[in-house]
Amino acid sequence: MGKSKRHRKVKFGKRNNDLDAFGKSGMKALPKNDRFITDRHSSRFEIFYRTQGFIPEEEWELFLKHLASDLPQSFRFVENSKEGTVALQMFKEKFLSKVTRCTVENEDVIVKIREINWRQTELQSLHNFLVVETACGILSRQEAVSMIPPLFMDIKSHHLILDMCASPGSKTVQLIEMLHADGEALPTGFVIANDLNNKRCYLLVHQSLRRSSSPCCVITNCDASQFPDVFMPDKFGKLTKLKFDRILCDVPCSSDGTLRKNLNLWKEWHVNQAYALHRLQRKIVERGLHLLATGGLLVYSTCSMNPAEDEAVITQILIYSQGMYIN
């Protein structure tokens, strides 16, 4: 006998005639045919988020317009280093005024194939500068919103920090820089940067260790939801369970907040992706809370706009724990 409907697997991003995007809520079923989805449009996405009601009706069209626009390139100079200060000053003096005066083609103009030497020399020299400084570890290509979570952590040089889902490592580099913010002396704290994927851990080594050149970072390859207890010797040589002063939970998510750069998500988006990840996200946060020192700070972040991955995760944690975890 075949499996009943409730046991059928749902393949995200593909048509599924048994489920609508709202499960069995009785709400209006979403379109189930890929013909409803264009490059930067998804009827399923729009119906779901419009139904949530947290975007004011008068801002809805503006919201969609911004989602359909290209994401600006952003980068960050390394803080608290002489090289970073010099590079930033060089950027301001040599490139900033020239680039802001460049005339960029209107987005409505048809793109034509053209020879490379037709490009504006100001932009080419800026490109070369960015490539060189990135390779030297002076500059990090990082989206502006990605820079925000570490800023909430109030990092001090003595803090023991855990980045539970660290790859690709841009936030980890930020944490390391903040750890070194006091000056030349080595901090007494450190960062443990963890990721489940072995190949991504190699990327972390490049991003966090080779580029930052800090001895205060360790890379681990563990399931964040089951991150093991860490033991360190105290001043008497006795092994004691380590508790972290700061923990960053930048958890795996459906990433629908990255639609502006990941255009394939328009076609692949399905609300079941968020629902499937909710339990894992909650488990990672719960494990983080068990590893957190009394008086410590845990920051939770995602790349998703879905309440099931954001507010609902934190709400479930608060309800389950009654505001307290016993370590």
Residue 223 is labelled as binding a ligand? yes
8 Å CB contact between 219 and 205: yes
Establish whether 303 is a catalytic residue.
yes
Distance CA 182, CA 7 (A): 56
8 Å CB contact between 217 and 179: no
Instruction: Work out the burial of residue 157: count CB atoms within 10 Å of its CB; fewer than 13 is exposed, 13-18 middle, 19 or more buried.
Output: middle
Residue 154 is labelled as binding a ligand? no
**Among candidate residues 78, 79, 86, 88, the one with its CA nearest the CA of residue 182:** 79
8 Å CB contact between 204 and 196: no
Q: Are strands 75-77 and 41-42 parallel, antiparallel or unpaired?
A: unpaired
Q: Are strands 231-233 and 217-220 parallel, antiparallel or unpaired?
A: unpaired
Distance CA 144, CA 130 (A): 16
* Active-site residue identified among 201, 217, 253, 303: 303
8 Å CB contact between 241 and 231: yes
Residue 310 is labelled as binding a ligand? no
H-only helix segments in the chain: 43-52, 60-67, 82-91, 97-101, 121-135, 148-151, 170-179, 198-204, 264-268, 271-291, 311-321
Query: What are the binding residues?
Result: 195, 223, 250
* Residues marked as catalytic: 303
Query: What are the binding residues for S-adenosyl-L-methionine?
Result: 195, 223, 250
